[in-house]
């Protein structure tokens, strides 16, 4: 005979996203005596099966006729493959062990990190080709396809007046940065795929436009997958 009545649908849903899994199960003690829970654990049939303890208070238990919630919360590697995995919650109680079926559902996460976030080139001339590199780190559990970086418009960093405050008939004005569209930068890079938990160095070539004003500050915002990085060009 089971120690507790399970007051939720089974298998119990345990949901995982990024670096944590979480779920809950409501337990009712329908007997006429208090039941103590000495410890509990979660076993998940990942490709490499794992068993982890479920933290519970010391001398935990459920009084006769009472209902309590058991919270299941645990960390996990962010690159755990997405999918649905069979699992079991095991309770060790004063009246015997009880196993509760569960399903661990791991969400697909697409997390791209780029480093450095800013590339700076000085002494840039028209019609020249610049070379740089960006590290692409896969912090999720879904492969990242690195494809050709699209061409991007150069944005000239210029100052424009900005009103800071109007008080008592006095207006305070201070310059602020603004961006004016300029020419187009053409990018060249190799295609590759970065697996979950892996990283790759992406070599990039930037072809400057045939017309480029001197002594200016231009900014380009190219994109790799879902993330953009900054390229500052000082001519």
Q: Kindly report the CATH number assigned to the domain that includes residue 123.
A: 2.60.40
**Is 85:45 a contact under the CB 8 Å cutoff?**
yes
DSSP letters along 9-29, please? -SSEEEEEETTEEEEEEEEE-
Asked if residue 125 and residue 86 are part of one domain, the reply reads: no
Domain co-membership, 48 together with 120: no
pLDDT band at 229 (very low <50, low <70, confident <90, very high): very high
Strand pairing category for 223-224 and 227-228: antiparallel
CA atoms within 13 Å, Cβ hemisphere of 110? 8
Interatomic CA distance for residues 105 and 102, integer angstroms? 10
Tokens in use for 194?
């970065």
Burial label, 53 (beta-carbon count in 10 A; 0-12, 13-18, 19+): exposed
Hunting for tokens 């944005």 — which residue is that? 155
pLDDT of 168 higher than 90: no
Q: Is the pLDDT of residue 157 over 90?
A: no
Picking from 70, 91, 106, the residue at the C-terminal end of a domain is 106
DSSP annotation of 38:
E
Q: What is the DSSP string of 150-162?
A: PPEEEEEEEEEEE
| DSSP class per residue in 166-193 | EETTEEEEEEEEEEEEEEEEEEEE--EE
Domain at 26, CATH number:
2.60.40.3880
**Do 85 and 148 sit in the same domain of this protein?**
no
Q: Are residues 9 and 84 in the same domain?
A: yes
Question: In the chain, which residue ranges form alpha helices assigned H by DSSP?
Answer: none
Instruction: Let me know whether 157 and 50 are in one domain.
Output: no
Q: Which tens digits make up the pLDDT trace of 88-135?
A: 999 999 999 999 999 999 999 999 999 999 999 999 999 999 999 999
Quick: pLDDT tens for 212-226. Answer: 999 999 999 999 999
Instruction: Residue 61: name the closest of 87, 88, 31, 89 by CA.
Output: 31
Lowest mean pLDDT among 104-108, 154-158, 162-166: 162-166
Number of separate domains in the chain: 2
Asked if residue 150 and residue 86 are part of one domain, the reply reads: no
Residue 15, domain extent: 5-106
Domain boundary among 73, 106, 139: 106
Residues 91 and 147 in one domain: no
Specify the pLDDT at position 164: 61
Last residue of a domain, one of 84, 106, 128: 106
Same domain, 100 and 116: no
Q: List pLDDT tens digits, range 62-89.
A: 999 999 999 999 888 899 999 999 999 9
Token pair 């509760």 is at which residue?
100
Q: Name the pTM for this structure.
A: 0.78
């Amino acid at each position: 005979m089971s120690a507790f009545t399970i007051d939720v649908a089974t298998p119990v849903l345990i949901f995982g996203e990024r670096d944590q899994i979480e779920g809950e199960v409501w337990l009712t003690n329908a007997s006429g005596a208090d039941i103590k829970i000495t410890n509990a654990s979660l076993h998940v049939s990942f490709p490499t099966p794992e068993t982890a303890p479920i933290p519970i208070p010391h001398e935990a238990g459920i009084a006769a006729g009472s209902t309590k919630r058991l919270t299941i919360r645990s960390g996990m590697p962010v690159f755990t493959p997405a999918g649905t995995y069979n699992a079991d919650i095991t309770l060790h109680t004063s009246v015997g062990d009880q196993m509760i079926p569960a399903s661990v559902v791991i969400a697909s996460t697409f997390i791209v990190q780029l480093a450095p976030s800013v590339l700076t080139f000085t002494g840039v001339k028209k019609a020249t080709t610049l070379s740089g590199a960006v590290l692409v780190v896969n912090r999720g559990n879904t492969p990242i396809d690195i494809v050709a970086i699209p061409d991007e418009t150069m944005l000239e960093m210029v100052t424009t007046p900005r009103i800071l405050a109007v008080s008592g008939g006095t207006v305070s004005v201070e310059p602020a940065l603004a961006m004016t569209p300029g020419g187009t930068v053409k990018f060249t890079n190799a295609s590759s795929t970065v697996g979950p938990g892996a990283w790759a160095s992406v070599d990039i070539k930037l072809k400057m436009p045939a017309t480029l004003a001197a002594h200016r500050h231009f900014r380009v915002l190219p994109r790799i997958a879902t993330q953009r990085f900054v390229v500052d060009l000082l001519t």
